[in-house]
Amino acid sequence: MYLTTLNGTHGVPDGLLAAMFEARKRIFVDLLGWDVPVLAGRYEIDQFDDPRAIYLILSDECGKHLGSARLLETERPHILDTLFPDLCEDAVPKGPTTREITRFALDPRQNARQRRRVRDTLVCALANHALASGVEAYTGVAEIAWLQQILAFGWDCEPLGLPREKGASLLGALRIAITHETPMLLASAGLVPEPLVAPHTIRHAA
């Protein structure tokens, strides 16, 4: 399993980013029915997919997308402060060491066991990325079923307010503190990542 870290871009790039945007369309539009922009009928790309976004992408040896997540800076417009600030009882957490996790995606063409392995690997990769990048906390917005899973991962995670109905969904916001103990806490909760091959960073200009 390969982990690639990429800086995003507008438009449709080649390779892994294209595969990720296609997978996001299958998951969030075709499967979940979200009303979000779709480019060229194939790619789910919104206003937050700009050159400052960071993507962690897991792929197989053939470059097939397995799972991914987008990280947004919180001192710039992001989903929690732009679309759902009322999910926070207090002020929306922001700062140079806080990132928002969005578009956490597990390719639906995998079976349940494969998705679990990719999920655990991606969660652990997020923790390791934070430690390597000076990120001290993640925030996020999630539907209630996914929110309950995130809270049960064993890391230092807390809701930012009570869940609220948004259309047909019940959404909640959360904050995850990342410390050097986080990988151990995840392992203690049973999240065992797959070995990662050739982690690297690719930067794409807008």
CA distance 81 to 74: 8
Mean pLDDT of the chain: 90
CATH 3.40.50.80 is right for the domain spanning 2-202: no
Higher-scoring residue by pLDDT: 150, 6: 150
Model confidence at 146, in pLDDT bands (50, 70, 90)?
Answer: very high
What average pLDDT does the segment 190-201 reach? 73
Q: pLDDT tens, 1-43?
A: 888 888 765 544 568 888 999 999 999 999 888 888 898 889 9
Q: How far is CA 115 from CA 67, 105, 131, 161, 203, in A?
A: 8, 10, 24, 29, 27
Q: Give the C-alpha separation, 166 to 154, whole Å.
A: 27
- In this model, does residue 200 exceed pLDDT 70? no
Structural domain boundaries of the chain? Answer: 2-202
Q: What is the pLDDT of residues 105-117, one digit of tens each?
A: 999 889 999 999 9
pTM of the model: 0.91
Task: Give dist(CA 108, CA 24) in Å, integer.
Answer: 10
Structural element, H or E, at residue 81: helix 79-83
Mean local confidence (pLDDT), 133-140: 97
Query: Are the beta carbons of 37 and 46 closer than 8 angstroms?
Result: yes
